[in-house]
Amino acid sequence: MESKSIKGNEMKKYLTALIEEKGIDLEKEIVLEGHIGLTYDDLIFFIEGTSKEIKASIRSNLVAIDFKNGDVFAYLDHLAKGMVAALYGEEA
């Protein structure tokens, strides 16, 4: 699949729209053991700081999951675990 460049705050807009269209508030806590207060808004902020290639890959995966009526939150929670590992050097 061809990777499209994601410019400016396009990824933030995409993720915000995706999460909100599923009826979830951006301030909803992502439940990860030992990490109280982590929200989807925090995850979006972290993703915004990644490379354009990573953002394109994340978006591509989310589009594929959503197209198949899969659970995008299972994938977002997986990304949150990776975020915790990257920031704190531990597994969530």
What are the tens digits of pLDDT across the range 4-17?
A: 556 668 999 999 99
pTM, full prediction: 0.85
Give the residues across from 61 on adjacent strands: none
End-to-end CA distance of the chain: 30
Comparing C-alpha atoms, which of 42, 65, 52 is closest to residue 10? 52
Comparing C-alpha atoms, which of 62, 81, 57 is closest to residue 14? 62
User: What does the alpha-carbon distance between residue 10 and residue 87 come to, in Å, rounded to a whole number?
Assistant: 24
What are the tens digits of pLDDT across the range 30-79?
A: 998 877 789 999 999 999 999 999 999 999 999 999 999 999 999 999 99
Give the residues across from 35 on adjacent strands: 32
pLDDT bucket at 1, cuts 50 / 70 / 90 = very low
* Tokens of residue 48, six digits: 């915004």
